[in-house]
């Protein structure tokens, strides 16, 4: 079976300055967003609507703030509310780790709502624009998880060719490299589907709904291979916290998909 390579978490050391792999994956994520969003802005439906390079750069700024603030607050509220309520200042200690995708998503939604208001655009127009540019950033983040040897998978059959031992787990149990599963599913696969689907004009809200359904469904599936957080374990119905957070996400996506279709129909 395979053994996790035990990467040095520091990618580049220049004297006292240390650049961690995880920080580099965030930079890659933001760079990919900038590239893809500029391509989106050049598509006819958005170019005609007046989207500019400055809009893309502003979106990136709003998105970065939303991801960091929402991701950190989401982790504190969803995963360790008791601990952070007792020591609220520790929420600011982001260098100690602890980010939640679902919290980050809520943070980005709030940031996009503020961007839409200041730019005089509809909220769903903004989220439809952004949605296909997000999965590559998620993929980059999962590579960071793998390099750090964190968020490892559940125990796997030792005969599985890619079963991997993660020494960081404190055991020699072969496990699913669930970080790579998520990289492939909610990163690459979701990006390809959304990018191809959104190349042509769609009813307002339809691309956003597709993102919510797609990510929620793929993350829900990947959670069956990911080891639940040790301090939470499995919750009701033997589902992890990540799965429970995906349920309202998928339901919201389905509701948005149905609403966007009816809105088009009523407009006719």
Question: Mind listing the pLDDT tens digit for each residue in 15-40?
Answer: 888 888 888 998 999 999 999 999 99
* Of 65-69, 182-186, 208-212, the least confident: 65-69
The answer to whether residue 243 sits within a structural domain is yes
The answer to whether residue 156 sits within a structural domain is no
Residues of the domain holding 228: 17-150+176-267
Q: Are 249 and 212 in contact (CB under 8 A)?
A: yes
Radius of gyration of the chain (CA): 19
The annotation status of 199 as a binding-site residue, yes or no, is no
- The mean pLDDT of 136-141, rounded to a whole number, is 94
Report pLDDT digits (tens) over 87-124: 777 776 665 667 787 888 889 999 999 999 999 999 99
This prediction's pTM: 0.89
Alpha-carbon gap, residue 160 to 1, rounded angstroms: 8
> Count of domains in the chain?
1
Q: Are 9 and 20 in contact (CB under 8 A)?
A: yes
Alpha-carbon gap, residue 23 to 119, rounded angstroms: 30
Q: Token pair of 243, please?
A: 């799965």
The answer to whether residue 256 sits within a structural domain is yes
Report pLDDT digits (tens) over 173-195: 999 999 999 999 999 999 999 99
């Amino acid at each position: 079976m395979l053994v996790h390579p035990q990467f040095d978490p520091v990618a580049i050391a220049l004297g006292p300055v240390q650049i961690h792999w995880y920080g580099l994956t965030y930079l890659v994520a933001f760079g990919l967003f900038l590239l893809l969003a500029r391509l989106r802005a050049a598509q006819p439906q958005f170019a005609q609507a007046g989207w500019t390079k400055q809009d893309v750069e502003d979106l990136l700024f709003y998105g970065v703030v939303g991801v960091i603030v929402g991701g950190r607050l989401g982790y504190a509220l969803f995963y360790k509310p008791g601990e952070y309520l007792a020591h609220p200042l520790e929420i600011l200690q982001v260098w100690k780790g602890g980010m939640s995708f679902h919290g980050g998503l809520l943070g980005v939604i709030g940031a996009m709502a503020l961007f839409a208001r200041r730019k005089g655009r509809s909220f769903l127009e903004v989220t439809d624009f952004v949605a296909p540019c997000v999965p590559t950033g998620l993929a980059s983040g999962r590579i960071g998880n793998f390099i750090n040897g964190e968020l490892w998978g559940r125990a796997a059959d030792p005969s599985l060719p890619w079963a991997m031992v993660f020494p960081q787990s404190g055991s020699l149990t072969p496990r699913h490299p669930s970080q790579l599963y998520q990289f492939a599913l909610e990163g690459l696969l979701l990006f390809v589907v959304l990018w191809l689907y959104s190349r042509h004009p769609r009813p307002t809200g339809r691309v956003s709904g597709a993102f919510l359904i797609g990510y929620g469904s793929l993350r829900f599936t990947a959670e069956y291979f990911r080891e639940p957080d040790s301090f939470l374990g499995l919750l009701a119905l033997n589902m992890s916290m990540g799965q429970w957070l995906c349920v309202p996400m998928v339901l919201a996506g389905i509701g948005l998909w149905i609403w966007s279709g009816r809105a088009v129909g009523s407009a006719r």
